[in-house]
Amino acid sequence: MSVIQAVLLGLLGGLGIWDSRVMGLWMFERPLLLGPLAGLILGDLQTGIILGASLELVMMGVVGIGSATPPDTVSGSILATAFAITSNLDVSAAVALALPIATLGQLVGILVRTGNAFFVSKADKAAERGDYSGIDRALWGGAALFFVSYFLLVFTGALLGSAVIGQFVDMIPESVSNGLSVASGMLPALGIAILMQLLFNKKNVAFFFVGWVLTALIGVDTVGAAVVGTTIAYIIFQYAKDGKPAAAVSAEQGELSDDLGGEL
């Protein structure tokens, strides 16, 4: 990896963290988009796309909801993709690499968010003076701190790591790398379980199995399942919306879906 490529990857790291900080979350921080971009920088778009897809599945449950700082998808995706391309790793090794990197990135994230207290106190002082542009400066100070930290994290990781990672991975015994490959097949289950926690309520559990049966037994792909899901959601919305108070609507919804199940 050349220094220029490492710099570009570092800039991509800055862009990745800025997605949720400065740009308002366009999902540039997700592996599905960072993978191809990192691939483009290293001249292997194809591998970047495929790795991005695998990493997305593993990291699907990693989300920054509320005030907690999650494992860092940005550095994890970029560096894992970069190492996989430069050291010719297979997908499972790349996935296994992404996780410790994301944990390290999480630490950097926590440090920056703690350090930002400095800029918040600057903002307080600006407010005291009634100084509008002082608030602007404080905000962009925090933004700069985020960018620089993640640039440095990804840049140094890319520069130092690419030399070491290849040799390190060669040392891993075959049983362990087989195990990593098995684990990378199982890890999407964690992401899916986290989503189930977010989505389940007492009434709607059955809809999980609608999707599961469609794909596992009938062989419909995810796009097809999404179309079926949209249809079901639309039908329920239309039947339930007509001027009912919230309590009545949600009480009735269970019955409605039961009726549909019977007809289908």
Partner 1 sequence: MGNLNQINGTAEDSVMTKEIFKKTFWRTFPLQACFCYERMQNVGFAYQMIPALKKLYPDKKDASQALKRHLAIFNTTPCVVSFITGAAIAMEEKFKKARENGEECDEESINAVKTALMGPLAGIGDSFFWGTLRIIAAGIGASLAAQGTILGPLVFFLLYNIPHLLVRYQGLKLGYKSGVSFLENMAQGGVIALLTDVAKILGLVVVGSMCASMVALSTPLVITIDGASVVLQDVFDSILPNILPLGLTFAIYKLLQKGIKTTTVLWGIILLGILGSVIGIF
Rank residues 3 and 199 by Cβ distance to partner 1 and give the closer one.
Answer: 199
Q: How far is the CB of 107 from partner 1 (least distance, A)?
A: 13
Rank residues 166 and 188 by Cβ distance to partner 1 and give the closer one.
Answer: 188
Give the helix/strand (H/E) hosting 194.
helix 188-199
Q: Which two tokens stand for residue 74?
A: 């940005």
Q: Given phi > 0 = left and psi -120 to 50 = alpha, else beta, which region is 24? A: left
What gap in Å lies between CA 54 and CA 94, rounded to an integer? 9
| Contact flag: residue 196 with partner 1 (CB under 8 A) | yes
With contacts defined by CB under 8 A, how many residues of the chain interact with partner 1?
A: 121
The only residue of 3, 160, 189, 258 in contact with partner 1, by rule CB under 8 A: 189
Rank residues 156 and 231 by Cβ distance to partner 1 and give the closer one.
Answer: 231
Q: Which two tokens stand for residue 95?
A: 């996935």
| Contact flag: residue 45 with partner 1 (CB under 8 A) | yes
| Contact flag: residue 148 with partner 1 (CB under 8 A) | no
The only residue of 129, 170, 202, 264 in contact with partner 1, by rule CB under 8 A: 129
Is 79 buried (19+), middle (13-18) or exposed (0-12) by CB count in 10 A? buried
Residue 60, SS3 per DSSP: coil
Give the binding range for partner 1 (CB under 8 A) out of 5-13, 75-83, 109-117, 148-156.
109-117
| Contact flag: residue 143 with partner 1 (CB under 8 A) | yes
| Contact flag: residue 183 with partner 1 (CB under 8 A) | yes
What gap in Å lies between CA 125 and CA 131, rounded to an integer? 9
The only residue of 114, 156, 164, 255 in contact with partner 1, by rule CB under 8 A: 114
| Contact flag: residue 88 with partner 1 (CB under 8 A) | no
Q: Given phi > 0 = left and psi -120 to 50 = alpha, else beta, which region is 2? A: beta
Chain positions 59 to 78 lying near partner 1, rule: CB under 8 A, are 60-63, 65-67, 71
Rank residues 11 and 159 by Cβ distance to partner 1 and give the closer one.
Answer: 11
What gap in Å lies between CA 111 and CA 145, rounded to an integer? 10
Q: Which two tokens stand for residue 227?
A: 């179309």
| Contact flag: residue 233 with partner 1 (CB under 8 A) | yes
| Contact flag: residue 152 with partner 1 (CB under 8 A) | no
Chain positions 11 to 30 lying near partner 1, rule: CB under 8 A, are 20-27, 30
Is residue 159 within 8 Å of residue 83, measured between CB atoms?
Answer: no
What gap in Å lies between CA 144 and CA 21, rounded to an integer? 10
What gap in Å lies between CA 39 and CA 48, rounded to an integer? 4
| Contact flag: residue 156 with partner 1 (CB under 8 A) | no
The only residue of 148, 160, 168, 178 in contact with partner 1, by rule CB under 8 A: 178
